[in-house]
Amino acid sequence: MRINADTDRCIGAGMCVLTAPDVFDQSEDDGTVLVLEPEPPEARRAAVRRAVQVCPSGALSLS
Amino acid sequence: MTKALSDPVPLPLARDTPFDPPSELRLWRGEGPLRPMIFGDGHVGWLATRHSTVRTVLADPRFSTRIEVMHPPIGQRLSQQTLTKLPGFFLREDPPVHTRFRRLLTGQFTVRRMRDLEPRIEKIASDRLDAMEKAGSPADLVEMFALPIPSLVICELLGVPYADHHRFQKDSATLLNLDSSVEQVREALSDLMGYLRELVAAKRRDPGDDLISGLVATGQLDDEEITGASVLLLVAGHETTANMLALGTYALLDNPEQLAALRRDPSLVDSAVEELLRYLTIVHIGPVRTATEDVELEGRVIKAGQAVTLSISAANRDPERFEAPDDLDITRQATGHLAFGHGIHQCLGQQLARIEMRIGYPALLRRFPGLRLAIPPQEVEMRSNMAIYGVHRLPVAW
């Protein structure tokens, strides 16, 4: 699993950080997504899938 | 039946019970995903009631939120109000105008920044509870607790003096009252704009460590834009959480087994907050989007220029998305609810709202183990006539 984040689409709602705090963070400048673990371990993948699903702007995808 | 389904209906507001959306919405959601709807200005558009449909439209860039193409779901008054275009009301803008404002603000509302506010919010909540306890039982929870907490917090965040709260709370209530006349709305808006315009000018001369001063310092917005954005943040920042705190408390008191579960296990608070957001969905009218081109949706064609009312209160009770949706169950996984909207306009202040509720409900319950309604439930006055649903007053005893 690899996480792709489109910071141009991101609106900084923070849903990913709330859902998978070990994998996502937000930029201090504009609040857009920072991916801490682009290839998350198995234990965190379920939370990552939920984060992708609840992202309001469609900025996150998996490959 | 077919004829009935194609007849345009007005958006229902009257409720049979305090916590459930109007029963027509439930009926119509079962009948189909879209229904022709007659808007407040006579426009014939659509009403969407299912979770997947509402979510799809909110994420679709072919639907606009701009005032210029907007139709009010109810009431002539709103059409007059929405026709007034104000700089800085980025909620009513599409990209790229919306993007410019949102980008300047999102950094101020990150999960981490909001968590940094926790100690301060805890202190504010504790001070309000002290005042409430001192005033004695019974007390109005709205006046003593639910309204002052988010009001104080948003004032500190924006750099608005709380001493002026009577003025902006009154204006804000007039703006959200669906029974206000066009004249009353214009007056309230102009008073609020005037108040914040002066404040923005003062911060330009003498900046502080607050959000409005921060917006001034970016040099990317003019004073009218900052004033408009500040009106939006001030109104949205206190009315919404205030109503969630009061209505949520009422809902917990009305569901004693849920209240007992939360008292027994305070670690349930995070999921309780999400569930209360879903179950209560205080944004009970809309939102509304307008198609900018012909869009095929659920087997229908939404014509360019046609508006769609997206009933998030109906969507959050959709049995296709949530099991036993009409039950309040604070242990359920309610994530994915649409109470903060969806798409690029999803609530900017949602992480602040969450933290205020995660602090507010437990603090209230800890302080008053015997908290109860001080009047019969049928006497609680519901805010059916306000753009944000809730209770006007909630007399409680302890």
Q: What is the pLDDT of residues B14-60, one digit of tens each?
A: 999 999 999 999 999 999 999 999 999 899 999 999 999 999 999 99
Pairs of CB atoms within 8 A across A/B: 67
> How far is B137 from chain A, CA to nearest CA, in Å?
37
Optimal mutation site among B351, B352, B354, interface A, most CBs of chain A within 10 A: B351
Question: Where do the domains of chain A lie?
Answer: 3-57
* Interchain pair A56, B108: CB under 8 A: no
Compare all CA atoms of chain B with the CA of A9 and give the residue at the minimum distance: B344
> How far is B269 from chain A, CA to nearest CA, in Å?
14
Q: What is the pLDDT of residues B177-191, one digit of tens each?
A: 888 888 888 899 899
Report residue A27 as tokens.
């930029």
Compare all CA atoms of chain B with the CA of A19 and give the residue at the minimum distance: B335
Compare all CA atoms of chain A with the CA of B55 and give the residue at the minimum distance: A56
Contacts of A27 in chain B (CB under 8 A): 107
**A23 in reach of chain B (CB within 8 A):** no
| CA atoms in the 13 A half-sphere facing the CB of B3 | 0
DSSP for residue B206? S
- For A51, other C-beta atoms within 10 Å of its C-beta total 24
Residue A54 has pLDDT above 70, yes or no: yes
pLDDT in the model for residue B68: 86
**Domain A3-57: which topology?**
Alpha-Beta Plaits (3.30.70)
Optimal mutation site among B54, B55, B111, interface A, most CBs of chain A within 10 A: B111
As a whole number of angstroms, the distance between CA A40 and CA A22 comes to: 9
Structural domains counted in chain B = 1
Q: Which of residues 332-351 of B touch A (CB under 8 A)?
A: 335-336, 340-344, 346-348, 350-351
pLDDT in the model for residue B228: 92
Compare all CA atoms of chain B with the CA of A18 and give the residue at the minimum distance: B111
- For B251, other C-beta atoms within 10 Å of its C-beta total 20
* Interchain pair B107, A57: CB under 8 A: no
pLDDT in the model for residue B3: 46
As a whole number of angstroms, the distance between CA B32 and CA B103 comes to: 37
Contacts of A23 in chain B (CB under 8 A): none
> How far is B99 from chain A, CA to nearest CA, in Å?
8
User: Angle at Cα B308 formed by Cα B307 and Cα B309, nearest 5°?
Assistant: 120
Among the partner-chain residues B103, B335, B343, the one whose CB lies closest to the CB of A56 is B343
Looking at the DSSP assignment, which residues form a beta bridge with residue B296? B301
Query: pLDDT under 70 in chain B at which residues?
Result: 1-5, 76-84
As a whole number of angstroms, the distance between CA B321 and CA A32 comes to: 28
Contacts of B112 in chain A (CB under 8 A): 17, 25-26
Does the reported pTM lie above 0.90?
A: yes
* Interchain pair B335, A28: CB under 8 A: no
Contacts of B342 in chain A (CB under 8 A): 56
Q: Among A41, A38, A43, which Cα is nearest to A63's?
A: A38
pLDDT in the model for residue B67: 86
Average pLDDT over residues A11-38: 93
* Interchain pair A14, B109: CB under 8 A: yes
The full DSSP string for A8-28 is TT-----HHHHH-TTTEEE-T
**A32 in reach of chain B (CB within 8 A):** yes
CATH code at B295?
Answer: 1.10.630.10
Domain that holds residue B79: 2-397
pLDDT in the model for residue B154: 94
pLDDT in the model for residue B398: 97
Backbone torsions φ then ψ of B64, nearest 5 degrees? -105, 155
Residue B159 CA from chain centroid, whole number: 22
